Amino acid sequence: MFAESFLTLASVLTFREARFSPAKLVTTQSLPVAHYVSGPLPPIKKDENSFGVQTTAHAAMVLDVASGEVLYEKDAETVYPIASLTKLITAMTLVDYKLNMEELITITKEDDPKEGRTVFAEGEQFTRGELLRALLIGSVNVAGNALARTSGGGPAFVVAMNARAQKLGMAQAHFSDPTGLDRQNQASAHDVAFALRTALGYPEIREITKTEKITLLEHRTNKPYVIKSTNLLLESFLNQDPYQIIAGKTGSLPEAGFCLAQATRNKAGREVIVVVLGSENHFARFQDAKALTYWTFQSFVWPEKGSKHQAALLVNTRP
């Protein structure tokens, strides 16, 4: 029944919503991602008449991690506010600084964004590593501001974030703060997909973002803070055999709608990234991402070297 519902959705999607642009792949596949072996074969669609699934998202994209091949896209080049998906860039920028993750950081009044739930109070102390975990697991905004402030200062850190984004090839991305609360933090689904692809090369980010819950102890009083993941799909079938979620981040703002970027692996070790921007509500983003992930694993085959699929691919791409 589950599979049938997805197949029904796939049959009603228009071709325009799943447009395919080979010219873009030359650029995106050239991005340096050291974690992966160069030259893997892209997956092949089993049925050329299967164009994807209907989503509520304004923009969406599916990317094969190993090859960089775009498997599905919907308005993927349009720039939108991305809310807390910003924190992926924040995390990579921080880790690149190679600072002491055991250093204690004291929360100050200026760290409180005065929007949403404060979580940590002024004067409380956590290590830099603990704040990074709070940032990525619970999307704690005060943690993002504290990390930026103690890593060269907030304004300089944002400059470094934008430089990091440009280095990743996120040509349309722009960041104004490290939390994503500023609606001027914007990027396309294409930008976000390749940002997450690069983030997968950071073991810390992979490990943290697939964690469902942690407990942090404030260092002066031992006050416990239970930080739960904002990614509800960690408790879904996509995180059970034969699938495994290997990284992900949520985001939401009134101007951004509800967003999610997630990487999922199947039993054969194939990894795909799904990005949805501007889904219509909190639960719709998870349903959109879940549907796209399931459709992708059901609709594509990954050829092995020397297989008949590889031979077919070589024939089809011969000039």
So which residues are the catalytic ones?
84, 87, 139
What DSSP string runs through 106-158?
A: E--GGG--SSS---SPTT-EEEHHHHHHHHHHS--HHHHHHHHHTTT-HHHHH
Closest CA to 133 of 95, 170, 180: 95
CA separation for the pair 157, 99 (Å, rounded): 13
CA separation for the pair 251, 276 (Å, rounded): 10
Omega before residue 242 within 30° of 0, cis: yes
Structure tokens at 100: 């002491």
- For residues 94 and 319, is the Cβ–Cβ distance under 8 A? no
SS3 210: coil
Any residues with CB less than 8 A from the CB of 24 and at least 6 apart, and which?
A: 70, 190
CA separation for the pair 177, 169 (Å, rounded): 19
Phi then psi dihedrals of residue 21, to 5 deg: -125, 90
Structure tokens at 144: 């993002």
CA separation for the pair 61, 95 (Å, rounded): 26
Q: Measure the N-to-C terminal CA separation of the chain; round to a whole number of Å.
A: 43
CA separation for the pair 241, 245 (Å, rounded): 10
CA separation for the pair 154, 156 (Å, rounded): 6
